[in-house]
Amino acid sequence: MPLDSISDNSLSRRAMKAELLDAETELSLAYAWRDQRDEAALHRLVTAYMRLAISMAAKYRRYGAPMNDLIQEAGLGLMKAADKFDPDRGVRFSTYAVWWIKASIQDYVMRNWSMVRTGSTSSQKSLFFNMRRVQARLEREAMGRGEELDGHQLRQMIATEVGVPLRDVEMMEGRLSGSDFSLNATQSADDEGREWIDTLEDDTAGAAELVGDDHDRQALRDWLITAMSDLNDRERMIVRERKLRDEPRTLESLGQELGLSKERVRQLEAGAFRKMRRTLETNGGGEVEALLH
């Protein structure tokens, strides 16, 4: 049965009723799963230690994640531990499983803490889950000595204590200072209030710019039409096919259609461009000349 269809209390009750395994039974189940892939043995081993997974998941509720989600992640960690456990190493399964359960829960918490990725290295994880505790201890110790630490001193001491660069502490302090906010949230409790996104500067073109752009485009179009009108039909066709199509045609294909050599088409094209440039220079349409290159 999926965990998300069971309540926290129901999961806890089921886990508390599970059998307690002695070392010999635990070892035999681990061998049965490793050597024979006995799924019944795996299920019994995981079920017996689900109470451990739930207990560890409960310690991370303060990070705001739903308890059922935390339990599911803890269960996944427990499954990974059972799959990778080597009974020949002489270690109890519960001791080995703790690391996998903790890693799975912490990965989930960090993935879901913020839309902005917080970090995934071991040092960043250590900082994320220990920064507040270390900060509180350092402040208590400083107070006991009659000292008062400023923000920079405190961050430097945290970096030294946890073993991470100062910039990581500064970054994590910002990430932990508050949760993400939607830009569509209103600025006040009033549902009719202005949304935060309305306060952002609009970097799109204004009305004056749009009108100016439209005017320039129309002027360029008029200049181009005038320049094209000075060409004969064959020259207009070459310019249109070579410069005004989304996919310009080759000199060779135009030559085949017109019954001319490739070199002759190139000469006609060059002559047409010279005529157009003269017309454009006369009309002040130098901007259109860029179309001819």
pLDDT tens for each residue of 155-208: 888 888 888 788 877 777 766 665 545 545 565 555 565 665 565 555 555 555
- Please answer whether residues 236 and 224 qualify as being in contact, where contact means their C-beta atoms are separated by less than 8 angstroms: no
Q: What is the pLDDT of residue 155?
A: 85
pLDDT band at 20 (very low <50, low <70, confident <90, very high): confident
Q: What is the pLDDT of residue 92?
A: 92
Burial 73-91 (b: 16+ CB within 10 A, else e): bbbbbbbbbbeebebeeee
pLDDT tens for each residue of 65-104: 888 889 999 999 999 999 999 999 989 999 999 999 988 9
pLDDT band at 292 (very low <50, low <70, confident <90, very high): very low
pLDDT tens for each residue of 204-238: 555 556 655 666 677 667 777 777 788 888 888 88
Alpha carbons 119 and 134: distance in angstroms, whole number: 19
195 bridge partner residues: 186
Angle at 253 between CA 251 and CA 259, to 5 degrees: 95
pLDDT tens for each residue of 242-266: 877 888 888 898 888 889 898 998 9
Q: What is the pLDDT of residue 283?
A: 62
Q: What is the pLDDT of residue 119?
A: 53
Alpha carbons 39 and 45: distance in angstroms, whole number: 10
The CATH architecture that domain 3-113 belongs to is Up-down Bundle (1.20)
Q: Where are the domains of the chain?
A: 3-113, 122-176, 207-292
pLDDT band at 40 (very low <50, low <70, confident <90, very high): very high
Q: What is the pLDDT of residue 93?
A: 93
Q: What is the pLDDT of residue 116?
A: 43
Alpha carbons 250 and 9: distance in angstroms, whole number: 75
Q: What is the pLDDT of residue 3?
A: 47
CATH class of the domain comprising 207-292: mainly alpha
Q: What is the pLDDT of residue 122?
A: 66
Alpha carbons 273 and 75: distance in angstroms, whole number: 74
In the DSSP assignment, the letter for residue 19 is P
